[in-house]
A and B are shown apart, each in its own frame.
Chain A
Amino acid sequence: MSESNFAGRGTGVIHDIGYRHYDGRRGGRPQIRRALYVQSLRGVFGLGRAARTKILPFTLASFMVLPAVILVAVQMVMGSTTPVLPFASYAIVVQAIPALFLAALAPQTVSRDLRFHTMPLYFSRPLTYKDYVAAKFAGMTSALFILFAVPIVVLYAGALLAKAPFLSNTGDFLMALVAAVFLSALLSVIGLLIASLTPRRGLGVAAIITLMAGSFTVVSAVQGITTGLDQQGVAAWAGLFSPMTLFAGAQDLLPGVRYEGVAEPSTAGQVVFAIVLLALIAGGYALLSLRYKKVSS
Protein backbone atom coordinates (compact mmCIF):
# COMPACT_ATOMS: atom_id res chain seq x y z
CA MET A 1 0.00 0.00 0.00
CA SER A 2 1.54 3.29 -1.04
CA GLU A 3 1.59 6.57 0.79
CA SER A 4 -0.92 8.19 -1.61
CA ASN A 5 -3.77 5.96 -0.41
CA PHE A 6 -3.80 7.81 2.86
CA ALA A 7 -3.73 11.21 1.17
CA GLY A 8 -7.37 11.43 0.08
CA ARG A 9 -9.14 11.40 3.39
CA GLY A 10 -12.66 10.21 3.84
CA THR A 11 -12.79 7.89 0.87
CA GLY A 12 -12.24 4.69 2.88
CA VAL A 13 -14.53 3.21 5.49
CA ILE A 14 -13.59 0.79 8.24
CA HIS A 15 -16.57 -1.46 8.80
CA ASP A 16 -17.23 -2.58 12.31
CA ILE A 17 -17.91 -6.26 11.75
CA GLY A 18 -18.62 -6.96 15.38
CA TYR A 19 -15.33 -8.18 16.81
CA ARG A 20 -14.91 -7.47 20.47
CA HIS A 21 -12.81 -4.37 21.14
CA TYR A 22 -9.88 -4.24 23.47
CA ASP A 23 -10.51 -1.51 26.00
CA GLY A 24 -7.87 -2.43 28.55
CA ARG A 25 -4.64 -0.69 29.29
CA ARG A 26 -1.98 -1.11 26.61
CA GLY A 27 1.36 -2.08 28.08
CA GLY A 28 3.61 -0.69 25.38
CA ARG A 29 7.27 -1.42 24.94
CA PRO A 30 8.16 -2.44 28.50
CA GLN A 31 5.45 -5.04 28.57
CA ILE A 32 6.36 -6.48 25.18
CA ARG A 33 9.98 -6.65 26.28
CA ARG A 34 9.01 -8.41 29.47
CA ALA A 35 6.76 -10.83 27.60
CA LEU A 36 9.52 -11.62 25.11
CA TYR A 37 11.94 -12.18 27.99
CA VAL A 38 9.60 -14.59 29.74
CA GLN A 39 8.83 -16.37 26.48
CA SER A 40 12.57 -16.72 25.68
CA LEU A 41 13.36 -18.03 29.16
CA ARG A 42 10.50 -20.54 29.07
CA GLY A 43 11.41 -21.47 25.51
CA VAL A 44 14.93 -22.51 26.51
CA PHE A 45 13.48 -25.15 28.84
CA GLY A 46 10.77 -26.04 26.34
CA LEU A 47 7.98 -24.78 28.58
CA GLY A 48 4.97 -23.85 26.50
CA ARG A 49 6.34 -25.93 23.64
CA ALA A 50 5.98 -29.53 22.50
CA ALA A 51 6.93 -32.26 24.98
CA ARG A 52 9.90 -33.46 22.92
CA THR A 53 11.51 -30.02 23.15
CA LYS A 54 11.54 -30.38 26.94
CA ILE A 55 13.56 -33.62 26.88
CA LEU A 56 16.94 -32.14 26.07
CA PRO A 57 17.06 -29.14 28.44
CA PHE A 58 15.74 -31.14 31.37
CA THR A 59 18.06 -34.08 30.70
CA LEU A 60 21.07 -31.77 30.62
CA ALA A 61 19.82 -29.90 33.70
CA SER A 62 19.55 -33.16 35.61
CA PHE A 63 23.06 -34.18 34.47
CA MET A 64 24.10 -30.84 35.90
CA VAL A 65 22.49 -31.45 39.29
CA LEU A 66 23.36 -35.16 39.62
CA PRO A 67 27.07 -34.69 40.50
CA ALA A 68 26.07 -32.12 43.14
CA VAL A 69 23.72 -34.62 44.75
CA ILE A 70 26.48 -37.24 44.71
CA LEU A 71 28.94 -34.78 46.24
CA VAL A 72 26.47 -33.95 49.00
CA ALA A 73 25.97 -37.66 49.67
CA VAL A 74 29.75 -38.16 49.84
CA GLN A 75 30.03 -35.27 52.27
CA MET A 76 27.30 -36.76 54.43
CA VAL A 77 28.91 -40.19 54.50
CA MET A 78 32.32 -38.74 55.27
CA GLY A 79 30.76 -36.48 57.92
CA SER A 80 33.00 -33.69 56.72
CA THR A 81 32.12 -30.07 57.45
CA THR A 82 34.09 -28.65 54.54
CA PRO A 83 32.40 -29.05 51.15
CA VAL A 84 34.03 -31.70 48.95
CA LEU A 85 34.14 -29.15 46.16
CA PRO A 86 34.09 -25.35 46.62
CA PHE A 87 30.75 -23.95 45.41
CA ALA A 88 32.36 -21.64 42.86
CA SER A 89 34.41 -24.45 41.28
CA TYR A 90 31.39 -26.59 40.45
CA ALA A 91 30.50 -24.96 37.13
CA ILE A 92 34.07 -25.34 35.88
CA VAL A 93 34.37 -28.98 36.90
CA VAL A 94 31.22 -29.98 35.00
CA GLN A 95 31.97 -27.57 32.13
CA ALA A 96 31.02 -29.97 29.34
CA ILE A 97 27.35 -29.91 30.38
CA PRO A 98 26.76 -26.14 30.33
CA ALA A 99 28.69 -26.06 27.03
CA LEU A 100 26.29 -28.64 25.57
CA PHE A 101 23.31 -26.81 27.05
CA LEU A 102 24.44 -23.56 25.47
CA ALA A 103 25.20 -25.15 22.12
CA ALA A 104 21.89 -27.00 21.98
CA LEU A 105 19.64 -24.21 23.19
CA ALA A 106 21.14 -20.84 22.24
CA PRO A 107 20.51 -21.46 18.51
CA GLN A 108 16.88 -22.33 19.02
CA THR A 109 16.20 -19.09 20.91
CA VAL A 110 17.31 -16.94 17.98
CA SER A 111 17.66 -19.07 14.84
CA ARG A 112 13.98 -19.91 14.54
CA ASP A 113 12.99 -16.25 14.44
CA LEU A 114 15.46 -15.72 11.59
CA ARG A 115 14.57 -18.88 9.74
CA PHE A 116 10.81 -18.46 9.78
CA HIS A 117 11.09 -14.76 9.02
CA THR A 118 9.33 -13.69 12.20
CA MET A 119 11.66 -10.75 12.81
CA PRO A 120 9.51 -8.31 10.76
CA LEU A 121 6.53 -9.35 12.87
CA TYR A 122 8.36 -8.45 16.07
CA PHE A 123 9.44 -5.14 14.67
CA SER A 124 5.93 -4.28 13.49
CA ARG A 125 5.27 -3.76 17.21
CA PRO A 126 6.57 -0.84 19.26
CA LEU A 127 9.50 -3.15 20.08
CA THR A 128 12.91 -1.96 18.84
CA TYR A 129 15.89 -4.12 17.98
CA LYS A 130 17.50 -3.09 21.24
CA ASP A 131 14.52 -4.46 23.17
CA TYR A 132 14.69 -7.70 21.19
CA VAL A 133 18.40 -8.18 21.90
CA ALA A 134 17.96 -7.23 25.55
CA ALA A 135 15.07 -9.67 26.01
CA LYS A 136 16.82 -12.56 24.26
CA PHE A 137 20.08 -11.94 26.11
CA ALA A 138 18.31 -11.68 29.46
CA GLY A 139 16.30 -14.83 28.70
CA MET A 140 19.33 -16.95 27.80
CA THR A 141 21.38 -15.54 30.68
CA SER A 142 18.60 -16.29 33.17
CA ALA A 143 18.24 -19.82 31.85
CA LEU A 144 21.98 -20.44 32.22
CA PHE A 145 21.94 -18.85 35.66
CA ILE A 146 19.22 -21.25 36.75
CA LEU A 147 21.31 -24.11 35.36
CA PHE A 148 24.33 -23.01 37.42
CA ALA A 149 22.44 -21.90 40.52
CA VAL A 150 20.43 -25.07 41.21
CA PRO A 151 23.45 -27.36 41.84
CA ILE A 152 25.11 -24.62 43.90
CA VAL A 153 21.98 -24.41 46.03
CA VAL A 154 22.05 -28.20 46.39
CA LEU A 155 25.71 -28.09 47.51
CA TYR A 156 24.93 -25.25 49.93
CA ALA A 157 21.96 -27.08 51.40
CA GLY A 158 24.12 -30.18 51.75
CA ALA A 159 26.83 -28.19 53.52
CA LEU A 160 24.30 -26.77 55.97
CA LEU A 161 22.80 -30.21 56.58
CA ALA A 162 26.30 -31.48 57.35
CA LYS A 163 26.47 -28.77 60.02
CA ALA A 164 29.15 -26.81 58.21
CA PRO A 165 29.84 -23.29 59.61
CA PHE A 166 26.86 -21.19 58.52
CA LEU A 167 28.50 -17.80 58.04
CA SER A 168 31.50 -18.71 55.90
CA ASN A 169 29.46 -21.13 53.79
CA THR A 170 26.76 -18.53 53.19
CA GLY A 171 29.43 -16.08 52.07
CA ASP A 172 30.96 -18.62 49.68
CA PHE A 173 27.49 -19.51 48.43
CA LEU A 174 26.60 -15.91 47.63
CA MET A 175 29.95 -15.33 45.93
CA ALA A 176 29.42 -18.45 43.83
CA LEU A 177 26.03 -17.07 42.75
CA VAL A 178 27.59 -13.72 41.81
CA ALA A 179 30.24 -15.55 39.79
CA ALA A 180 27.48 -17.60 38.13
CA VAL A 181 25.83 -14.37 36.92
CA PHE A 182 28.99 -13.37 35.08
CA LEU A 183 29.55 -16.85 33.68
CA SER A 184 25.93 -16.97 32.44
CA ALA A 185 26.29 -13.57 30.78
CA LEU A 186 29.57 -14.59 29.11
CA LEU A 187 28.29 -17.89 27.76
CA SER A 188 24.97 -16.41 26.71
CA VAL A 189 26.56 -13.58 24.72
CA ILE A 190 28.93 -16.03 22.98
CA GLY A 191 26.14 -18.48 22.18
CA LEU A 192 23.63 -15.93 20.95
CA LEU A 193 26.17 -14.06 18.84
CA ILE A 194 27.25 -17.21 16.99
CA ALA A 195 23.69 -18.48 16.70
CA SER A 196 22.37 -15.17 15.39
CA LEU A 197 24.74 -15.37 12.43
CA THR A 198 23.07 -18.43 10.91
CA PRO A 199 19.42 -19.33 10.41
CA ARG A 200 20.50 -22.98 10.33
CA ARG A 201 20.19 -24.42 13.78
CA GLY A 202 22.50 -27.40 13.27
CA LEU A 203 25.30 -25.19 12.08
CA GLY A 204 24.89 -22.90 15.09
CA VAL A 205 25.01 -25.87 17.46
CA ALA A 206 28.18 -27.21 15.85
CA ALA A 207 29.87 -23.82 15.78
CA ILE A 208 29.18 -23.08 19.45
CA ILE A 209 30.29 -26.48 20.70
CA THR A 210 33.40 -26.41 18.53
CA LEU A 211 34.33 -23.08 20.08
CA MET A 212 33.53 -24.14 23.65
CA ALA A 213 34.85 -27.71 23.68
CA GLY A 214 37.67 -27.09 21.20
CA SER A 215 39.09 -24.09 23.02
CA PHE A 216 38.76 -25.81 26.40
CA THR A 217 40.52 -28.98 25.22
CA VAL A 218 43.33 -27.07 23.52
CA VAL A 219 43.82 -24.73 26.49
CA SER A 220 43.78 -27.64 28.96
CA ALA A 221 46.34 -29.53 26.89
CA VAL A 222 48.60 -26.49 26.60
CA GLN A 223 48.24 -25.79 30.33
CA GLY A 224 49.00 -29.39 31.24
CA ILE A 225 52.10 -29.53 29.08
CA THR A 226 53.51 -26.12 29.98
CA THR A 227 52.97 -26.85 33.67
CA GLY A 228 54.85 -30.09 33.20
CA LEU A 229 57.69 -28.09 31.70
CA ASP A 230 57.64 -25.77 34.71
CA GLN A 231 56.46 -22.77 32.74
CA GLN A 232 53.69 -21.69 35.09
CA GLY A 233 53.46 -18.22 33.54
CA VAL A 234 52.64 -19.50 30.06
CA ALA A 235 50.20 -22.00 31.55
CA ALA A 236 48.34 -19.32 33.49
CA TRP A 237 48.05 -16.93 30.57
CA ALA A 238 46.89 -19.70 28.25
CA GLY A 239 43.69 -19.63 30.30
CA LEU A 240 42.67 -16.43 28.52
CA PHE A 241 41.86 -18.39 25.39
CA SER A 242 38.86 -20.41 26.42
CA PRO A 243 35.65 -19.06 28.00
CA MET A 244 35.64 -21.47 30.93
CA THR A 245 39.27 -20.99 31.95
CA LEU A 246 38.91 -17.24 31.42
CA PHE A 247 36.02 -17.25 33.87
CA ALA A 248 37.95 -19.50 36.27
CA GLY A 249 40.80 -17.00 36.38
CA ALA A 250 38.58 -13.94 36.66
CA GLN A 251 36.34 -15.24 39.45
CA ASP A 252 39.35 -15.67 41.76
CA LEU A 253 39.10 -11.90 42.25
CA LEU A 254 35.89 -12.40 44.26
CA PRO A 255 36.59 -12.62 48.00
CA GLY A 256 36.90 -16.19 49.24
CA VAL A 257 36.79 -17.73 45.78
CA ARG A 258 39.73 -19.83 44.72
CA TYR A 259 39.64 -22.30 41.87
CA GLU A 260 42.34 -24.94 42.24
CA GLY A 261 43.03 -25.34 38.56
CA VAL A 262 46.13 -26.55 36.75
CA ALA A 263 47.50 -23.02 36.55
CA GLU A 264 45.86 -19.94 37.97
CA PRO A 265 46.94 -16.37 37.22
CA SER A 266 48.52 -14.08 39.82
CA THR A 267 46.44 -11.26 41.29
CA ALA A 268 47.50 -8.88 38.53
CA GLY A 269 46.65 -11.59 36.04
CA GLN A 270 43.25 -12.05 37.63
CA VAL A 271 42.51 -8.35 37.08
CA VAL A 272 43.42 -8.77 33.40
CA PHE A 273 41.24 -11.89 33.20
CA ALA A 274 38.33 -9.98 34.75
CA ILE A 275 38.76 -7.03 32.37
CA VAL A 276 38.86 -9.38 29.37
CA LEU A 277 35.76 -11.15 30.66
CA LEU A 278 33.81 -7.91 31.06
CA ALA A 279 35.09 -6.62 27.71
CA LEU A 280 33.95 -9.84 26.02
CA ILE A 281 30.48 -9.55 27.51
CA ALA A 282 30.16 -5.86 26.59
CA GLY A 283 31.74 -6.28 23.16
CA GLY A 284 29.69 -9.36 22.38
CA TYR A 285 26.52 -7.56 23.39
CA ALA A 286 27.43 -4.60 21.19
CA LEU A 287 28.07 -6.94 18.24
CA LEU A 288 24.77 -8.71 18.89
CA SER A 289 22.97 -5.35 18.84
CA LEU A 290 24.80 -4.44 15.65
CA ARG A 291 23.72 -7.71 14.08
CA TYR A 292 20.05 -6.94 14.74
CA LYS A 293 20.22 -3.28 13.76
CA LYS A 294 19.31 -4.32 10.26
CA VAL A 295 17.52 -7.62 9.82
CA SER A 296 16.74 -8.76 6.32
CA SER A 297 13.53 -10.71 6.71
Chain B
Amino acid sequence: MNRTIARLTLRGLLSPRRLMLLALIPLVLLGVAVLLRLLVTDMPVDLGVGVVSSLAIGTMLPLVALICGTGAIATEIDDGAIVYLLAKPIPRATIVITKYVVAVGATILLAVIPTALASVILLGADAGLVAGYGVAALVGALAYCALFLLLGVVTKQAVVAGLLYVLLWESLIGGAVPGAQALSIQQWALSIGAKISGDGLLSAAVKMPVGAALLVAVAGFGLYFAINRLRSLTIAGDS
Protein backbone atom coordinates (compact mmCIF):
# COMPACT_ATOMS: atom_id res chain seq x y z
CA MET B 1 0.00 0.00 0.00
CA ASN B 2 1.18 3.49 -0.80
CA ARG B 3 -0.87 6.31 0.62
CA THR B 4 -0.06 8.85 -2.06
CA ILE B 5 -1.08 6.48 -4.86
CA ALA B 6 -4.22 5.59 -2.93
CA ARG B 7 -5.11 9.25 -2.51
CA LEU B 8 -4.52 10.09 -6.18
CA THR B 9 -6.42 7.03 -7.42
CA LEU B 10 -9.32 7.76 -5.13
CA ARG B 11 -9.42 11.35 -6.33
CA GLY B 12 -9.46 10.25 -9.95
CA LEU B 13 -12.07 7.60 -9.29
CA LEU B 14 -14.45 9.47 -7.04
CA SER B 15 -14.14 13.16 -7.77
CA PRO B 16 -17.25 14.95 -6.45
CA ARG B 17 -18.74 15.18 -9.94
CA ARG B 18 -18.12 11.53 -10.77
CA LEU B 19 -19.27 10.40 -7.34
CA MET B 20 -22.56 12.18 -7.92
CA LEU B 21 -23.07 10.47 -11.28
CA LEU B 22 -21.93 7.06 -10.02
CA ALA B 23 -24.16 7.33 -6.97
CA LEU B 24 -27.13 7.39 -9.34
CA ILE B 25 -26.67 3.65 -9.97
CA PRO B 26 -27.19 2.47 -6.36
CA LEU B 27 -29.80 5.19 -5.81
CA VAL B 28 -31.90 3.86 -8.69
CA LEU B 29 -31.63 0.34 -7.25
CA LEU B 30 -32.64 1.50 -3.78
CA GLY B 31 -35.45 3.55 -5.32
CA VAL B 32 -36.78 0.48 -7.11
CA ALA B 33 -36.49 -1.55 -3.89
CA VAL B 34 -38.41 1.02 -1.85
CA LEU B 35 -41.00 1.38 -4.60
CA LEU B 36 -41.57 -2.37 -4.71
CA ARG B 37 -41.79 -2.55 -0.93
CA LEU B 38 -44.49 0.13 -0.94
CA LEU B 39 -46.28 -1.27 -3.98
CA VAL B 40 -46.33 -4.91 -2.93
CA THR B 41 -48.07 -5.73 0.27
CA ASP B 42 -46.92 -9.00 1.74
CA MET B 43 -43.78 -9.34 -0.36
CA PRO B 44 -43.15 -12.96 -1.37
CA VAL B 45 -39.59 -13.95 -0.55
CA ASP B 46 -38.78 -15.39 -3.97
CA LEU B 47 -39.72 -12.07 -5.61
CA GLY B 48 -37.28 -10.21 -3.39
CA VAL B 49 -34.63 -12.86 -4.02
CA GLY B 50 -35.14 -12.50 -7.77
CA VAL B 51 -34.85 -8.72 -7.70
CA VAL B 52 -31.71 -8.65 -5.52
CA SER B 53 -30.09 -11.46 -7.54
CA SER B 54 -30.76 -9.99 -10.98
CA LEU B 55 -30.55 -6.25 -10.32
CA ALA B 56 -28.04 -5.93 -7.48
CA ILE B 57 -25.73 -8.92 -7.91
CA GLY B 58 -26.34 -9.47 -11.62
CA THR B 59 -26.23 -5.91 -12.95
CA MET B 60 -25.16 -3.26 -10.48
CA LEU B 61 -22.21 -5.08 -8.90
CA PRO B 62 -20.39 -5.97 -12.15
CA LEU B 63 -21.06 -2.56 -13.73
CA VAL B 64 -19.81 -0.63 -10.70
CA ALA B 65 -16.82 -2.96 -10.33
CA LEU B 66 -16.09 -2.48 -14.03
CA ILE B 67 -16.10 1.30 -13.72
CA CYS B 68 -14.00 1.26 -10.55
CA GLY B 69 -11.64 -1.57 -11.56
CA THR B 70 -10.76 -0.18 -14.98
CA GLY B 71 -11.04 3.42 -13.79
CA ALA B 72 -8.38 2.82 -11.15
CA ILE B 73 -5.66 2.06 -13.69
CA ALA B 74 -6.88 2.03 -17.31
CA THR B 75 -7.57 5.76 -17.46
CA GLU B 76 -4.04 6.46 -16.29
CA ILE B 77 -2.57 4.09 -18.88
CA ASP B 78 -4.84 5.60 -21.51
CA ASP B 79 -3.72 9.18 -21.01
CA GLY B 80 -0.09 8.20 -20.42
CA ALA B 81 0.12 9.48 -16.84
CA ILE B 82 1.13 6.01 -15.68
CA VAL B 83 4.73 6.61 -16.88
CA TYR B 84 5.25 9.18 -14.11
CA LEU B 85 4.12 6.59 -11.60
CA LEU B 86 6.18 3.77 -13.10
CA ALA B 87 9.25 6.03 -13.15
CA LYS B 88 9.18 6.24 -9.33
CA PRO B 89 11.08 3.63 -7.32
CA ILE B 90 7.90 1.95 -6.14
CA PRO B 91 7.45 -1.81 -6.57
CA ARG B 92 4.90 -2.69 -9.26
CA ALA B 93 3.16 -4.90 -6.71
CA THR B 94 2.61 -1.91 -4.44
CA ILE B 95 1.09 0.08 -7.30
CA VAL B 96 -1.28 -2.69 -8.36
CA ILE B 97 -2.31 -3.70 -4.86
CA THR B 98 -2.89 -0.10 -3.80
CA LYS B 99 -5.09 0.53 -6.82
CA TYR B 100 -6.88 -2.76 -6.20
CA VAL B 101 -7.65 -1.83 -2.61
CA VAL B 102 -8.98 1.56 -3.69
CA ALA B 103 -11.11 0.00 -6.44
CA VAL B 104 -12.54 -2.55 -4.01
CA GLY B 105 -13.22 0.19 -1.47
CA ALA B 106 -15.10 2.26 -4.04
CA THR B 107 -17.07 -0.81 -5.14
CA ILE B 108 -17.97 -1.59 -1.52
CA LEU B 109 -19.25 1.94 -1.10
CA LEU B 110 -21.20 2.05 -4.38
CA ALA B 111 -22.37 -1.54 -4.81
CA VAL B 112 -21.83 -3.83 -1.80
CA ILE B 113 -23.43 -1.61 0.83
CA PRO B 114 -26.36 -0.73 -1.49
CA THR B 115 -26.84 -4.46 -2.18
CA ALA B 116 -27.02 -5.13 1.55
CA LEU B 117 -29.42 -2.21 1.98
CA ALA B 118 -31.61 -3.39 -0.89
CA SER B 119 -31.81 -6.87 0.60
CA VAL B 120 -32.69 -5.38 3.99
CA ILE B 121 -35.48 -3.40 2.32
CA LEU B 122 -36.80 -6.32 0.29
CA LEU B 123 -35.99 -9.30 2.54
CA GLY B 124 -35.65 -7.61 5.91
CA ALA B 125 -37.25 -10.44 7.84
CA ASP B 126 -34.71 -13.02 6.75
CA ALA B 127 -31.37 -12.18 8.37
CA GLY B 128 -29.68 -15.18 6.75
CA LEU B 129 -30.52 -14.03 3.23
CA VAL B 130 -29.43 -10.46 3.97
CA ALA B 131 -26.07 -11.69 5.28
CA GLY B 132 -25.77 -14.07 2.33
CA TYR B 133 -26.29 -11.30 -0.22
CA GLY B 134 -23.98 -8.92 1.61
CA VAL B 135 -21.15 -11.45 1.67
CA ALA B 136 -21.81 -12.55 -1.92
CA ALA B 137 -21.57 -8.93 -3.07
CA LEU B 138 -18.37 -8.43 -1.08
CA VAL B 139 -16.55 -11.49 -2.43
CA GLY B 140 -17.91 -10.71 -5.89
CA ALA B 141 -16.43 -7.21 -5.64
CA LEU B 142 -13.05 -8.67 -4.65
CA ALA B 143 -12.97 -10.96 -7.69
CA TYR B 144 -14.49 -8.57 -10.25
CA CYS B 145 -12.13 -5.74 -9.33
CA ALA B 146 -9.07 -7.99 -9.73
CA LEU B 147 -10.32 -9.21 -13.12
CA PHE B 148 -11.15 -5.73 -14.42
CA LEU B 149 -7.90 -4.30 -13.08
CA LEU B 150 -6.06 -6.98 -15.04
CA LEU B 151 -8.09 -6.17 -18.16
CA GLY B 152 -7.17 -2.51 -17.73
CA VAL B 153 -3.47 -3.38 -17.77
CA VAL B 154 -3.70 -5.90 -20.59
CA THR B 155 -5.87 -4.17 -23.18
CA LYS B 156 -6.75 -0.67 -24.31
CA GLN B 157 -10.33 -1.82 -24.78
CA ALA B 158 -10.65 -2.86 -21.12
CA VAL B 159 -14.15 -1.49 -20.61
CA VAL B 160 -15.48 -3.09 -23.76
CA ALA B 161 -13.81 -6.42 -22.95
CA GLY B 162 -15.25 -6.32 -19.44
CA LEU B 163 -18.68 -5.51 -20.81
CA LEU B 164 -18.50 -8.41 -23.24
CA TYR B 165 -17.77 -10.70 -20.31
CA VAL B 166 -20.49 -9.31 -18.04
CA LEU B 167 -23.28 -8.74 -20.57
CA LEU B 168 -22.67 -11.43 -23.16
CA TRP B 169 -21.17 -14.20 -21.07
CA GLU B 170 -22.72 -13.83 -17.62
CA SER B 171 -26.11 -12.37 -18.54
CA LEU B 172 -26.95 -13.51 -22.05
CA ILE B 173 -25.17 -16.85 -22.44
CA GLY B 174 -25.26 -17.65 -18.71
CA GLY B 175 -29.00 -16.94 -18.76
CA ALA B 176 -29.61 -19.32 -21.65
CA VAL B 177 -26.97 -22.04 -21.23
CA PRO B 178 -26.81 -23.46 -17.70
CA GLY B 179 -23.32 -24.87 -18.29
CA ALA B 180 -21.91 -21.39 -18.83
CA GLN B 181 -23.02 -20.42 -15.35
CA ALA B 182 -20.41 -22.66 -13.79
CA LEU B 183 -17.81 -20.28 -15.21
CA SER B 184 -19.03 -16.96 -13.91
CA ILE B 185 -17.86 -14.86 -10.99
CA GLN B 186 -21.49 -14.05 -10.25
CA GLN B 187 -22.34 -17.70 -9.57
CA TRP B 188 -19.18 -18.31 -7.57
CA ALA B 189 -20.01 -15.32 -5.37
CA LEU B 190 -23.59 -16.51 -5.00
CA SER B 191 -22.37 -19.97 -3.96
CA ILE B 192 -20.72 -18.44 -0.90
CA GLY B 193 -23.84 -16.38 -0.24
CA ALA B 194 -25.97 -19.51 -0.52
CA LYS B 195 -23.79 -21.32 2.02
CA ILE B 196 -24.15 -18.45 4.48
CA SER B 197 -27.88 -17.92 4.04
CA GLY B 198 -28.28 -21.65 4.44
CA ASP B 199 -32.03 -21.97 3.83
CA GLY B 200 -32.00 -22.95 0.16
CA LEU B 201 -33.76 -19.85 -1.16
CA LEU B 202 -30.51 -18.47 -2.48
CA SER B 203 -29.07 -20.91 -4.99
CA ALA B 204 -26.02 -20.99 -7.19
CA ALA B 205 -24.83 -23.08 -10.11
CA VAL B 206 -21.72 -24.30 -8.29
CA LYS B 207 -21.01 -25.72 -4.87
CA MET B 208 -19.51 -23.56 -2.17
CA PRO B 209 -15.94 -24.91 -1.87
CA VAL B 210 -15.52 -24.87 -5.66
CA GLY B 211 -16.91 -21.36 -5.96
CA ALA B 212 -14.71 -20.05 -3.17
CA ALA B 213 -11.61 -21.67 -4.61
CA LEU B 214 -12.31 -20.24 -8.06
CA LEU B 215 -12.91 -16.77 -6.62
CA VAL B 216 -9.59 -16.85 -4.79
CA ALA B 217 -7.93 -18.13 -7.96
CA VAL B 218 -9.39 -15.32 -10.11
CA ALA B 219 -8.45 -12.63 -7.62
CA GLY B 220 -4.97 -14.03 -7.06
CA PHE B 221 -4.11 -14.72 -10.69
CA GLY B 222 -5.66 -11.41 -11.77
CA LEU B 223 -3.45 -9.43 -9.44
CA TYR B 224 -0.38 -11.56 -10.17
CA PHE B 225 -0.70 -11.13 -13.92
CA ALA B 226 -1.51 -7.44 -13.57
CA ILE B 227 1.70 -6.92 -11.59
CA ASN B 228 3.64 -8.97 -14.11
CA ARG B 229 2.16 -7.16 -17.07
CA LEU B 230 2.91 -3.77 -15.52
CA ARG B 231 6.59 -4.74 -15.39
CA SER B 232 6.79 -4.73 -19.17
CA LEU B 233 4.15 -2.20 -20.08
CA THR B 234 4.60 -0.30 -23.30
CA ILE B 235 2.68 2.88 -23.79
CA ALA B 236 1.36 2.44 -27.31
CA GLY B 237 -0.17 5.14 -29.46
CA ASP B 238 -3.90 5.45 -29.40
CA SER B 239 -6.02 3.74 -31.99
Contact = CB atoms under 8 A, between A and B. Distances in A.
Instruction: Tell whether A and B belong to one assembly.
Output: yes
Interface of A: 49-50, 52-53, 56, 63, 96, 99-100, 103-104, 112, 115-116, 200-203, 205-207, 209-210, 213-214, 217-218, 221-222, 225-226, 228-229, 231, 234
Nearest to B62: A213
A104 B239 CA distance: 13
Interface of B: 21, 25, 28-29, 32, 35-36, 39-40, 47, 51, 54-55, 58-60, 63, 66-67, 70-71, 74-75, 78-79, 157-160, 163-164, 167-168, 171-172, 238-239
4 nearest A-B residue pairs (beta carbon): A205-B159, A202-B159, A104-B160, A217-B59
Nearest to A107: B159
Nearest to A52: B239
B59 A202 contact: no
A225 B60 CA distance: 19
B239 A206 contact: no
Nearest to A209: B163
Given A100-B167, A112-B238, 18 more contacts: A99-B167, A100-B163, A103-B163, A104-B160, A200-B79, A201-B78, A205-B160, A206-B66, A206-B67, A206-B70, A209-B159, A210-B25, A214-B25, A217-B58, A222-B32, A225-B47, A228-B47, A229-B39
A226 B38 CA distance: 12
Contacts of A116: 238
16 contacts: A100-B164, A200-B79, A202-B75, A202-B78, A205-B159, A205-B163, A206-B66, A206-B67, A207-B21, A209-B63, A210-B25, A213-B63, A217-B54, A218-B32, A221-B51, A221-B54
A200 B163 contact: no
A202 B79 CA distance: 11
A201 B172 CA distance: 25
A210 B67 contact: yes
Given A221-B51, A221-B54, A213 B59 contact: yes
Contacts of B40: 225, 229
Contact of A217 (B35, B55, B74, B168): B55
Nearest to B58: A217
B70 A202 contact: yes
A63 to B, nearest CB: 8
B43 to A, nearest CB: 10
Nearest to A103: B163
